[in-house]
Structure 1
Amino acid sequence: MDGENKWHKAETPAIHAAGLDLGYRSAQGLNLLASGISFDLQQGELTCLMGPNGVGKSTLLKAIMDQHPPIKGAVFLGKENVRQISDKERAKKVAVVLTEKIPSGAMTVLELVALGRVPHTGWWGRLSPHDQSVVNKVMDMTNIRDLAGKKLAALSDGQRQTALIARALAQDSPILILDEPTAHLDLTNRFEIMYLLRDLAKKAAKAILVVTHDLEVAMETADKLWIMEAHKPLLTGSPEDLMIQGGIQNLLPGNKWQIDAASGKIRLKDPARLPQIDGPAHLSHWIRNAFRKNRELAQPERIVVSEQPFSILLDFADQKEEVNSIAEMIGFLRLRAKKNNSNTSR
């Protein structure tokens, strides 16, 4: 699926690849993970790469960073083949934040961020006034200037992740690649980090690629999604288009799970039969959610849910029962199902 349109400005992508085959060669032969992989990573956009484990996401990142060349095809940074760029020059073009162990707790935030200038100064180089200016600028951009003297060991997980992003930004590279940057963060920090990255893509005109399994945050923040499936071409497009057109469902092989088209959240598929539910849409949604999780419940012919005051009328052919909470509804329907099963077994 092509996420571009006729109004997209023609420009050289930050990263371009067409027809990549990814995999490994061994004594047993070729282990092909992915084939026909094509993409353009654009400046000013936050792109999320998603897919099940084992489909080749890490191998794709290694191909971009020239750590594991593709079996077929080539990756271009701008107009240059990544294989023809020196390590030093590549570090100036691509900054990477991997799922890495944080350096020694004795290091301060300022010292960590300053390491981002190594491609420009060398390991033994001192920071010039320009280098110091860049470090100060990215610490302001990421709102961690007040943490400059703090030891890494004293930071929260969210603060450490932000400091690592600041270190990558200090490389002053047009491309930023992050592998699972929100994996160990709480709900609020997951959104904070991803909105920070989105803001950086827009304000600093960077091309940002994030590998993530966090669909909820990706739907909320990404400009583009790349969906990777085993042995299939990359599916690309805006999150909204992929949701509306159904491509997002490719993240969930099998018949057990589905992605709710309204909320973008993963949930169990609906039971084969659900009762008719009348009432406000937001209340009906949670009644259906309860039935998805509790498939053993007795099924009324009809349910009427009211908002003020909250009540649930359970309408059976032989009985009507009014309850005042979903927990009470579940308890009643579970008990009725047990009685029905007991009567049937006699």
Structure 2
Amino acid sequence: MKKETSHIILKAEQLSIGYKTKKAETVIASDINFKLKKGQLIGLVGANGIGKSTLLRTLIKVQPALSGSISLNNKNINTTSTQDLAKQLSIVLTEPLTSKNLSVYELVALGRHPYTNWIGNLTDKDNTIVRESLAQVNITDLKDRRCYELSDGQLQKVMIARALAQDTDVIVLDEPTTHLDMYHKAYILKLLKKLTEKTGKTILFSSHEIDLAIQLCDTMIVMKANELYCDQPCNLISKGVFDTLFPEDLIVFDKTIGNFRIK
């Protein structure tokens, strides 16, 4: 039992997510329970509007939970300081980049912010980590380019490199393949898979690319209206979890090939 617990890096227990105002509380999803293991690629999927982004924002402490608890490295995130959290968890969100005039190297170097002094000076160790992060996502040749000169696919790789430079146990990405063509969607997700294998980091991402996630993920979290499942893709398929993910009038899930097809 102790061996199993030692590999659990992120855990949610009886979690309820949503929005609270002075007048009312809006519950998006409740009774959320899962345990995520270290060194895995984990895909979060579900229909539009089901609450994937709300769940991610809650897990990264951007949005408070309505109830329940979230533990990172066996410590409740509510008792973890912002500084300590930034050394354990890095984030790649879908918001537009506000610093596109920076060079690729400068943007990736921002990932070292939790470790630098108040002036932000980089040490030799910091620069080494930045160079390694650039190399890990194969963008060393872009290091002197300005971010506004990059394609969407290149910029996404830069953001992943910045998260790597932050050197955290967990990386969370909200829809990292948005605005990318099919080739680059597959490229980014395969890159994330490769990074988990090479670095031992846990990478959690939300996505609409369910077919690709089934092929590449070690574990998947599937959100439905009143349920949440967390398991290996093969187990989720055998349990029929994907069969009722969407209305059956237009698409159906084919268990034999593990993807969706038009009815």
Distance 2:117 2:178 in 1: 31
When residues 34 and 183 of structure 1 are mapped into structure 2, their CA distance, relative to the original with a 3 A threshold, is same
Q: Does the aligned pair in 2 maintain the 1:182–1:190 contact within 8 Å?
A: yes
Q: CA deviation at 1:223?
A: 0.8
Distance 2:178 2:105 in 1: 24
1:191-340 alignment, distance < 5 Å = 191-232=186-227, 234-269=228-263
What is the number of equivalent residue pairs in this alignment? 262
1:56 aligns with 2:20: no
TM-score normalised by structure 1 residue count: 0.72
Q: Does the aligned pair in 2 maintain the 1:109–1:151 contact within 8 Å?
A: yes
Q: CA deviation at 1:28?
A: 4.7
Distance 2:245 2:112 in 1: 38
TM-score normalised by structure 2 residue count: 0.93
Q: CA deviation at 1:122?
A: 4.9
Q: CA deviation at 1:104?
A: 3.6
Question: In structure 2, the residue corresponding to 1:236 is in which secondary structure?
Answer: strand
Q: CA deviation at 1:163?
A: 0.5
1:32 aligns with 2:27: yes
1:131 aligns with 2:126: yes
Post-superposition Cα deviations, 1:159-181, rounded to whole Å, max 9, x if no partner, equal: 11000000011000010000000
Opposite residue 230 of structure 2, the aligned amino acid is T
Q: CA deviation at 1:123?
A: 5.9
- Aligned-residue RMSD, C-alpha: 1.8
Opposite residue 258 of structure 2, the aligned amino acid is G
Distance 2:220 2:214 in 1: 8
Opposite residue 266 of structure 1, the aligned amino acid is F
Distance 1:256 1:26 in 2: 38
1:142 aligns with 2:137: yes
Distance 2:115 2:24 in 1: 41
Which residue of structure 2 aligns with residue 187 of structure 1?
182
Q: CA deviation at 1:77?
A: 0.6
1:66-215 alignment, distance < 5 Å = 66-122=61-117, 124-215=119-210
Q: Which consecutive residues of structure 1, in runs of 5 or more, have no partner in the other structure?
A: 1-5, 270-346
Q: CA deviation at 1:154?
A: 1.9
Opposite residue 241 of structure 1, the aligned amino acid is N
When residues 243 and 149 of structure 1 are mapped into structure 2, their CA distance, relative to the original with a 3 A threshold, is same
Distance 1:145 1:219 in 2: 30
- The one of the two structures with greater contact order (alpha-carbon pairs below 8 A, sep at least 6) is 2
Distance 1:226 1:150 in 2: 37
Which residue of structure 2 aligns with residue 281 of structure 1?
none
Q: Which consecutive residues of structure 2, in runs of 5 or more, have no partner in the other structure?
A: none
Distance 1:254 1:192 in 2: 30
Post-superposition Cα deviations, 1:214-260, rounded to whole Å, max 9, x if no partner, equal: 1121112111110011232x111111221233111232135432112
Distance 2:147 2:218 in 1: 32
Question: In structure 2, the residue corresponding to 1:181 is in which secondary structure?
Answer: coil
Q: CA deviation at 1:45?
A: 0.4
Distance 1:215 1:71 in 2: 28
When residues 263 and 123 of structure 1 are mapped into structure 2, their CA distance, relative to the original with a 3 A threshold, is farther
Identical amino acids, percent of aligned pairs: 37
Q: Does the aligned pair in 2 maintain the 1:12–1:79 contact within 8 Å?
A: no
Q: Does the aligned pair in 1 maintain the 2:7–2:38 contact within 8 Å?
A: no
Q: CA deviation at 1:108?
A: 1.1
Distance 1:197 1:47 in 2: 10
Q: Does the aligned pair in 2 maintain the 1:12–1:78 contact within 8 Å?
A: no
When residues 216 and 103 of structure 1 are mapped into structure 2, their CA distance, relative to the original with a 3 A threshold, is same
Instruction: Write out the 4+ residue segments of structure 1 that deviate beyond 6 Å after TM superposition.
Output: none
Question: In structure 2, the residue corresponding to 1:202 is in which secondary structure?
Answer: helix
Q: Does the aligned pair in 2 maintain the 1:51–1:57 contact within 8 Å?
A: yes
Q: CA deviation at 1:132?
A: 0.5
When residues 220 and 31 of structure 1 are mapped into structure 2, their CA distance, relative to the original with a 3 A threshold, is same
Q: CA deviation at 1:25?
A: 2.5
